[in-house]
Amino acid sequence: MKVGSSESLITAPSGARWTMPTTLELPKPHDGPSLTNESVLAADFDNRLLEQTAQLQRRNEELEAFSYSVSHDIKSPLSQIAVYLLFLKEHSGAHLDNLSQNYLAGIENCVERISRLTQDLLRLANTARTELRFSPLDLTQMARDIAAELSARAPARQVEWLIASGLQAEGDRGLIEILLTNLLSNAWKYTTHCSLARIDFGAVLGSEGVVEYHVRDNGAGFDMASAARLFQPFERLHTNAEFPGTGIGLATARRIIQRHGGGIWAEGAVGRGAVFHFTLGSKKV
């Protein structure tokens, strides 16, 4: 017995689409239990979705393992390059002309940038490899400690910190500290050119009863048309000359929040600052 005579468009949450014929040859009653179109479509959809999810998980694990391996393996030769540069400066630095000394300084800057990049890549990889240990957290005190450390690095800067009292959460202490450090350091960096910078860390209760935390600043901001690039590794919306960085910090923040079952999104405008919102769920991933 045939049922229907058309095709159905199936759309998965990932955006993938495919068509399936809805003309099916169903068994006769005496051949066994019959299947409806809906049950066949649902079973096939579930199988394909599970397969795609498994493939994505494998790719993420391979990428994380690759990042960890490469970053770890680069550390040793990079340290040796730095040592040889030091020896060269001590042995011949006084005999080099200005141009040669500039070349050495350029090499040192490159080594320092690669070193920061490998450290950030290792940190990103470790956020996926670390076993989560949930405990109650005082986010207010954690943010105040980070703010004090940042301010101590540049005491001449005029920065107004607005950190709300009583901010609490449940999460992995080590990873949440990295999360707040990245977000607050990001705000600190992009307010460098403000005569009076303001950095605000607070929270509101969302429409669904979920606490939404935010880090807001009055710095350089960004074009909302490029917002989707913010959390991608190595994607930067400003040049290194404007604001130094590796493009890993926000990607690490997103990975930490994903592992806690939360979400992160950003709003901003060029020259008018930015605000990063995030939630922390109770799911351990």
Question: DSSP assignment, residue 90?
Answer: H
- Domain match, 27 and 54 both: yes
Same structural domain, 158 and 118: no
Residue 175: give its domain's CATH number.
3.30.565.10
What pLDDT digit, counting tens, does each position of 235-250 carry?
777 766 677 776 788 8
Domain end: 78, 99, 129, which one?
129
**Contacts for 269 with CB less than 8 Å, ≥ 6 apart:** 221, 222, 223, 224
Are 220 and 143 in a shared domain? Answer: yes
- Cβ-contact 217, 187 below 8 angstroms: yes
207 and 82 co-located in one domain: no
Has residue 283 been placed in a domain? no
- 115 and 171: one domain? no
| pLDDT-wise least confident of 92-106, 153-167, 235-249 | 235-249
Looking at residue 158, the DSSP 8-state letter turns out to be -
Q: Are residues 83 and 148 in the same domain?
A: no
Segment 257-278 mean pLDDT? 93
What is d(CA 167, CA 180) in angstroms, rounded to the nearest whole number? 13
Query: Does residue 171 share a domain with residue 49?
Result: no
Distance CA 222, CA 191 (A): 12
Residues spanned by the domain of 34: 1-129
Provide CB contacts within 8 A for 264, sequence distance 6+: 231, 253, 254, 257, 276, 277, 278, 279
pLDDT at residue 20, rounded to an integer:
44
Q: Identify the pLDDT of residue 26.
A: 45
H or E segment at 134?
strand 134-138
User: Total structural domains in the chain?
Assistant: 2
The verdict on 159 and 267 lying in the same domain is: yes
pLDDT digits (tens, 9 = 90+) for 221-237: 988 988 888 888 767 77
Is 285 a member of any domain? no
Tell which of 129, 152, 168 closes a domain: 129
Q: Does residue 161 register a pLDDT over 80?
A: yes
Q: How confident is the model at residue 72 (pLDDT cuts 50, 70, 90)?
A: low
Q: Give SS3 for 241.
A: coil
250 plus 230 within the same structural domain: yes
* Verdict on whether the full-model pTM lies above 0.95: no
What pLDDT is stored for residue 201 in this prediction? 98
Among residues 129, 152, 170, which one ends one of the domains?
129
